[in-house]
A and B are shown apart, each in its own frame.
Chain A
Amino acid sequence: MTRFIARRMITMVALLFVISLVTFVLFVVALPGGNPAAMIAGRLANPAEVHLISVRYGFDKPIWVQYIRTMGNIFTGRAYSYQQGFNVLQEIKAGLPATLSLAFGAGIFWLLASIALGTLAAVRAGKYTDRVLTVLSMVGVSLPPFYLGALIIYFVGFKLNILPLGGYVGLSNPGEWFKHLIAPWFTLSVLFIGFYSRVLRSSILDAMGEDYVRTARAKGLSERRVLVLHVLRLSLLPILSLWGLDIAQVIGGGAILTESVYSLHGVGFLAYEAIGNFDTVTLLCIVMLTALAVVMFSALIDIIYAYLDPRIRLG
């Protein structure tokens, strides 16, 4: 097991390196940040000053030197946004509470809800309940978060005045924190629940046809025990790996739509603003954060997999 984890760690670092390199090249070449030196120098600077800044910040150096310098700055916490002047890592740190609250609250909710609904649909396959759940999941995967969010804000927030219209309140005030997050959690979860419950339903149905399930039934286990101990244990695996990737993307600012419709000033909102300002450094940091979260969660899921299904460890 230790060797398995060690091997995963090495692959993880290699993948992170590649992702950072590709991102850097892509962003420096593709993003029209203009001349970053001119941006720092300000509107009134003369060409000599711009040149001086360009030399001091190293914008005249080859791209790989710039890459090493930028990555060094990110790891030592000295990455500054050329356009907006703030320390990027501190901005991200300020956005993390909102994003993490959103990610874990919604993540737990959509995982539990899809396990419940997916199992129910599979057990009742072909019956009325299954059909209703199928239609509901189709509606769910067709609802864009920004539209659902707008509807909830208008009808529940504005008309009924039950929930706040948006924004984030820190955990120091748990009641308000919960009230501000309940609608974002729901909005973000709907799409995932629709998708996950369908995947789980079909993987449970697949598993029910397996020999080991027939054996379990034949030795007289109750239907409930067969379902929980034998069918669900393996059927949950595909859902878990999806969950790892999705929640990692939400942590890395992937929930841009939900965060922007509810004005949750998290990492996704920061990314959205950075793109509007062509802020390469901020975007680079956020993409690195996303990549780190994705790689870490997929490694974690792999380890859980290996624990649940020992066959994988050998492969």
Chain B
Amino acid sequence: MSTITEIAFEEPVTPDEQDAPPGVGVYALAWRRLRHNRVAMFFGFVFLLIVVLCLLAPVYSADVAHIAPDTEVTGPINLGHGKILYAINTVGVPIGPTWSISHFFLGADVNGRDIAVRLLYGGRNSIEIGTVAMLITMIFGTMLGMIAGYFRGWLDQLISRVMDVIWAYPAVLLGITLGTVINIQGFLFLHSTTLLSTAFVVGFVYIPYIVRPVRAQVLGLREREFVDAARQQGLSSFRIMFGELLPNLSSTIVVFVPLMLANAIILEAALDYLGAGVQPPTPAWGNMIQEGLNQFPGGFHAVIIPGLALVLTVMSVNIFGDGVRDALDPRSRAAVRQAKD
């Protein structure tokens, strides 16, 4: 198996790369390719924008909308000039988007809460959980994969079989089982009121998805000369794994980061939707959709809006991640070029 570095230099030269000084690193080259992928850059920017907006949730809540995410407005709101606004009408249907930035911009939910405020807070929770879950998956997945691939033998058998068992469960089924258990009786430091619980559940479910490719790559890498050389020098297994193998795995890991982030955000929303994730009244996109569906078909905007935010976020991460993969793995681009010939 050849490393990314070698492939990168075998790449047919494009005008841009002709100017590159010899010995430019893998990531510098990848960044150069990524920068020219306008679609990927655009969606990367969209994701960044969503993150910033969600982080500004407290500012919007306190200084623009003047309403907390849990405040339930049941009475009339006096807008001045003799205009009065009801968040919920007489038959209990919440108002849709007012498109007025200072009150109920995106309408109210069935409890009379401001959807725009909850959307930002919920997004903050969903993205935070997704990020932590992704980090858990990546860290544990990489470590277990490296251990299994490097030591082989019974350790590899043990890890691989455990991963097979996790793999055989449908992700959602495993997720709601663990999520329900933790929500009801808690596990170590995890209980229903911390967002960390959901992050751990989601992170755990996806570990085999990282262990397999990492293990496969380490199995190839460990037979190479530079690992032999390190072993001859008397480096400890720990040093070889982290000093020699990990840098060679980095591009694989980088490719998986956005992919796993997207998966984590989706699974988190699914768990919320099924009641095994973030518990109301704490907002998250998944439980906002679920609460909106509770009074189907009235007030359907309470379903559409958080769902759109969820889809847009996940899609941005996916498209950006696809661009990252194309940039780091030029073989796919080379293949496209070949097919065009």
Contact = CB atoms under 8 A, between A and B. Distances in A.
B318 interface: yes
A249 B169 CA distance: 7
A272 B335 contact: no
B170 A295 contact: no
B7 to A, nearest CB: 13
A215 to B, nearest CB: 16
A191 to B, nearest CB: 9
Scoring A122, A138, A205 by chain B CB atoms within 10 A of each residue's CB, the highest score goes to A138
Nearest to A293: B168
A257 B270 contact: yes
A8 B51 CA distance: 48
Interface stretch (B194-202, B209-217, B249-257, B302-310): B302-310
Contact of B173 (A126, A134, A253, A295): A253
B79 interface: no
Interface string B309-341: 011001100110010000000001001111110
A89 interface: no
B170 A31 contact: no
Scoring A123, A150, A153, A249 by chain B CB atoms within 10 A of each residue's CB, the highest score goes to A150
Interface string A193-209: 00000000010011011
A205 B335 contact: yes
B289 A147 contact: yes
Contacts of A252: 170
Contacts of A287: 169, 173
A290 B170 contact: yes
Contacts of B171: 254
Interface residues of B, number: 46
B14 interface: no
A208 B318 contact: no
Interface stretch (B96-104, B127-135, B142-150, B178-186): B178-186
A175 to B, nearest CB: 25
A125 interface: yes
A142 B318 contact: yes
Interface in A3-20: 15, 18-19
B315 A290 contact: no
Nearest to B292: A150
B266 interface: yes
Interface of B: 39, 161, 164-165, 168-173, 176-177, 180-181, 184-185, 262, 266, 269-270, 273-276, 289, 293, 296-297, 300, 303-304, 307, 310-311, 314-315, 318-319, 322, 332, 335-340
The 6 A-B pairs at the shortest CB distance, nearest first, are namely A254-B170, A142-B315, A205-B335, A142-B314, A147-B307, A125-B339
